[in-house]
Amino acid sequence: MPSTPRRTLTADDLTDVIRAAFGPEQRITGVQRLRGGTKKGVYRVGLTGVPASAVVYSWADEENFWTPVGPSSDPGPSVSTQDPRDPFTPADGMPRFLDAVHTLQALGVPTLHVYLADDSHQVFPADVAVVADQAGGTLEALYDSDPAQGDAITRRLAETLQVVHAHRAPTYGTLEQLRLGIEPYGPTCEHLVLERALGDVAEAAGREPRIAAVAEQLARRLHDLHARISPRQEYALIHGELGPDHVLLTAEPANGSGAVLIDIEGLMFFDVEWEHVFLEIRFGERYRLLAPRTPLDGPRMDLYRLAMRLSLVAGPLRLLEGDFPDRAFARSIAEHNTHAALALLGQ
């Protein structure tokens, strides 16, 4: 693991960015790195004027914890590639962020206000954005402080997801792929998920003995589940990684729409079942508030449940080979999903 810790941005680093966003009269009163994302740096910046604070996204290489720093093994994301045809390429970068912002805005879905999006590298040495700060915290935190209000916001979130998922396309892929006319890799979503899951089995088996002991059984199970799926010709817009920590609240959620979606770079057209499997995992018993009005495809759900669990084993274990700071959190994700994957296998 690299011995040199990654540097946190300071007010001096962000002065030009804030001035470009708000003008020369704004001054920085403090900078706080926010916990969360592994692919970009997220910083809350206190300001002397209006607004009183803002959030800065930095897509600098050194902010990406999937990228090694110094002499270490490559801790890249679980079985993802840099192939531009692969919808599962790392969901990072300002172009994908702006694609998602514009798409959600066109659908009437609340998004963070963007004060500045700059890829010139003149005001900052990497792609950078300045967005509105939300004073209400996350939906995840609201579940602890006010469960009833959390449930109310979740019901509104369900309405938002209905709008998002109703937006369809005849092919799957990221918004960037569709914008650039790049044909996605793989004949179907389920084929792509199968390939990715088989890779996750191989990667996890090299790091987790319990997965190694049943690797062949897992591979057979994945193939069996894949064989049960019928073809599909239409795909839904999905967030791709939506948990209650990726829903930010307004200062007074009872008086407005209540929430905006963040970490939206992974927005893409895909099987809606992929989204619902993740929602099941992250929202737990509250998933009942997000369940769709129309039935989901059962065979797809079965394949995607196992595939998602394997991804959530292989990814965190590989992340731990780098210098990701919240190591206990990553280990807990890998451990929890190892148990879940083995349970799905009947072990």
Q: Is the pLDDT of residue 306 over 90?
A: yes
Strand pairing partners for 237? 269
Structure confidence at residue 65 (pLDDT): 66
Name the percent of the chain lying above pLDDT 70. Answer: 89
Residue 203 near residue 320, CB atoms below 8 Å? no
Q: Is the pLDDT of residue 178 over 60?
A: yes
Structure confidence at residue 144 (pLDDT): 95
Alpha helices (H) along the chain: 11-22, 94-106, 139-145, 147-166, 175-180, 189-205, 209-212, 215-227, 272-283, 298-319, 327-345
**Residue 325 CA to its chain's centroid (Å):** 18
Tell me the per-residue pLDDT of 4-25, one tens digit each, with 9 for 90 and over.
567 789 999 999 999 999 999 9
Structure confidence at residue 80 (pLDDT): 45
Domain ranges of the chain: 11-345
Average pLDDT over residues 223-233: 96
In terms of average pLDDT, the best of 118-127, 169-178, 268-277 is 268-277
Structure confidence at residue 320 (pLDDT): 82
3-state SS class at 174? strand
Q: Is the pLDDT of residue 106 over 80?
A: yes
Tell me the per-residue pLDDT of 90-104, one tens digit each, with 9 for 90 and over.
667 889 999 999 999
Say how far apart CA 72 and CA 290 lie, in whole Å.
Answer: 41
Q: Is the pLDDT of residue 118 over 80?
A: yes
Q: Please give the CATH number for the structural domain made up of 11-345.
A: 3.90.1200.10
Structure confidence at residue 183 (pLDDT): 86
b/e code 182-215 from CB counts within 10 Å (16+ = b): bebbbebbbebbbbbbbbbbbbbbebbeebeebb
Structure confidence at residue 37 (pLDDT): 66
Nearest to 197 by CA among 67, 344, 336: 344
Q: Is the pLDDT of residue 76 over 90?
A: no
Say how far apart CA 32 and CA 325 lie, in whole Å.
Answer: 16
Name the least confident of 111-125, 133-147, 217-231, 315-329: 315-329
Farthest-apart Cα atoms in the chain, separation: 63
Structure confidence at residue 330 (pLDDT): 86
Say how far apart CA 138 and CA 146 lie, in whole Å.
Answer: 12
Structure confidence at residue 73 (pLDDT): 34
Sign of the C-alpha dihedral computed for residues 280, 110, 143 and 45 taken in this order: positive
Q: Which residues contact 107 (CB under 8 A, 6 or more apart)?
A: 163, 164, 167, 237
Structure confidence at residue 193 (pLDDT): 97
Name the CA radius of gyration of the chain, rounded.
20
Residue, of 326 and 28, whose pLDDT is higher: 28
Helix axes 298-319, 272-283, angle to 10 degrees: 60
Name the percent of the chain lying above pLDDT 90. Answer: 70
